[in-house]
Chains A and B, each alone.
Chain A
Amino acid sequence: METILKIENLTKKFGSLTAVNNLSFTIKKGNVYGILGPNGSGKSTTLGIVLNVVNKTEGQFQWFDGTMTTHEALKHVGAIIERPNFYPYMTAVQNLKLVCKIKGVDISKIEEKLEIVGLLERKHSKFSTFSLGMKQRLAIASALLNDPQILILDEPTNGLDPQGIHQIREIIKQIAAKGTTILLASHLLDEVEKVCSHVVVLRKGVKLYSGRVDAMISTHGFFEVTSNNNSKLIELLENHNAFGTIKVNDNQMITAHLNEPMLSEDFNKFMFDNQIILTHLVQRKESLEEQFLQLTDHN
């Protein structure tokens, strides 16, 4: 598979603060990547470095197997960083024309891209009159102008209302469905879980995980139970090989993590055979959020 971006041992220091620490990962064509991390974990800095607006301290990165300079490569990339940045006194079309001139693309694409993001009716309105959601959609249209090989989005739904978030996600899904490689930085886990196939998890500039999203959620899940005799239940669970950690929360709900696969009916039968009647039984897998919190807490 074609490599779009390769990052090797990238480090960025702001004075004594290390924002990105020895980071390496590779972006392959056709996948949707998420960069996950709490605020201040170095997501935007990493993107800033590969997009040529932040100077790296050490390490290197390479666009498209090093076949072109970063400055050339960026003409094949579409990117939005944090907030949509346009000239407030220009209309949507005028702003996009300017981007066309920078990227060296024909201006005939403008209508088509405005259509995708649903801004065709407002194309002659000044940017300053747009709502945040519209500004963000214009930014996506602008990033798509050159039919990029990769679309980089940094917190695209930040600060939007639920409708705005929904619209942006729909647009992203549409673009992903067309086979465009996407790199999405976010601290919103469900966003990444819904959209991405691969994920890089960062914390304080250090990579904690990189790989497929489903491989990250690779545990056997857990049972949430309560019963008529909780103390005996806990004793049984602790003596059973299939269970790892067992936790009891404030509502007397017992959480038992599985070390090996087990069906809920087998679990229920096993309890009943031991004279325990369950009043609540749920089998679940960890969500990405729980995985993420585990990853970021333990290190």
Chain B
Amino acid sequence: MFRLLNLELQKLLLNRASRVLIFISFILPFFVILLSSLKINVFGFFTLELGELGVFNFPLIWHLTTFFASQFKFFFAIVVVSMIGNEYSNKTIKQNLIDGLSKKEFILSKFYTIVFFSLISTILIFFITLSIGLYYSSYNEVSIIFTNIEFLLAYFVKLVGFFSLCLFFGMLVKRSAFALGFLFILFIAEWIAFGILAWKFNSKTAESIQNFFPLKSMYKLIDEPFQRITMSKFPDKVNLAYDYSVHAYEIIIVLGWTFLFVFLSYKLLKRRDL
């Protein structure tokens, strides 16, 4: 396993484009989060300090940071599709197989890399959130700090799932740009399917079916936190209440998709003549 991971890391880290993208997708969001947690003096007129607003309170902060950081996943998605696209355009996939890598190992080395980067990202966000939270949060009891820690798990699963989808599209179309295009098409297709379902049945049924779609199910793992922030400000407004928690079934759906995408990528490569 480490051999395969090591292989793929060498391919990625020696390539300047993917180095930059990895940096943007994993390091940048944390800088932004860190910066936003600092006191910002806007041209001497007034001081903006998000910490004062209470958004960095435990357990809310887990929700906020994971949601925010996962928006940057698109940059690593480019890395994932290009790590497949480049193998095809350089024909190195053929050479790798001739050199003695099996088709299964080839897919696994990509998948391990996805898991590895998702894990690093999750660990990073854990420490950054913890330190910002400890600094700002009004509650410092251990039990409160680690409430909602499941958002980290959701974050990890969401990344792995999304990148596995990119892996599959990369394998399917062999070209990075087209694979990204496919992602966009899938996004539209899911909404069209939702529209049709809503028209045939009703919006409630349509939404519960939509929650099984690949992109939507990944999005659903971490619901948007803004409504929850507002809720925490105005606890008496009941109509704002919504289900923002991470459910086991949501994780299972995404894991199901992940398995399917990786498996299909392997089947695709196995059937293909290079």
Contacts and interface: CB of A to CB of B under 8 A. Distances in A.
Given A75-B100, A102-B96, A53 B273 contact: yes
B91 A87 contact: no
Interface string A96-109: 01110111100000
A51 B7 contact: no
Contact of A101 (B3, B86, B94): B3
Which one of A75, A83, A99, A102 has the highest number of Cβ atoms from chain B below 10 Å of its Cβ?
A102
B179 to A, nearest CB: 19
Nearest to A145: B99
Interface in A72-125: 72, 74-75, 77, 79, 81, 83, 85-90, 94, 97-99, 101-104
B41 interface: no
B91 A89 contact: no
Contacts of B100: 71-72, 74-75, 77, 102-104
Contacts of A94: 10, 14
A99 B196 CA distance: 51
Contacts of A103: 99-100
B86 to A, nearest CB: 8
A164 interface: no
B6 interface: yes
B267 interface: no
B11 interface: yes
28 contacts: A48-B273, A52-B97, A52-B103, A53-B97, A53-B98, A53-B273, A53-B274, A54-B273, A54-B274, A55-B270, A74-B97, A74-B98, A79-B99, A81-B95, A83-B91, A85-B91, A85-B92, A87-B14, A87-B15, A89-B16, A97-B10, A98-B7, A101-B3, A101-B7, A102-B7, A103-B100, A104-B3, A104-B100
Interface in B36-87: 86
Interface string B2-35: 0100110011001110000000000000000000
Contacts of B102: 52, 71
B11 A53 contact: no
A86 B274 contact: no
Which one of A71, A75, A94 has the highest number of Cβ atoms from chain B below 10 Å of its Cβ?
A71
B99 A74 contact: yes
B98 A86 contact: no
B113 to A, nearest CB: 14
Interface string B258-274: 00000000000011011
B90 interface: yes
Interface in A41-75: 48, 51-55, 71-72, 74-75
Interface string A174-201: 0000000000000000000000000000
Contact of B95 (A86, A88, A90): A86
Contacts of B97: 51-53, 74
A51 B100 CA distance: 9
A226 B273 CA distance: 55
A68 to B, nearest CB: 11
Nearest to A127: B90
Nearest to A12: B273
Contact of A89 (B15, B94, B101): B15
Interface string A267-296: 000000000000000000000000000000
Contacts of B273: 14, 48, 53-55
Given A87-B14, A99-B99, A102-B99, A55 B90 contact: no
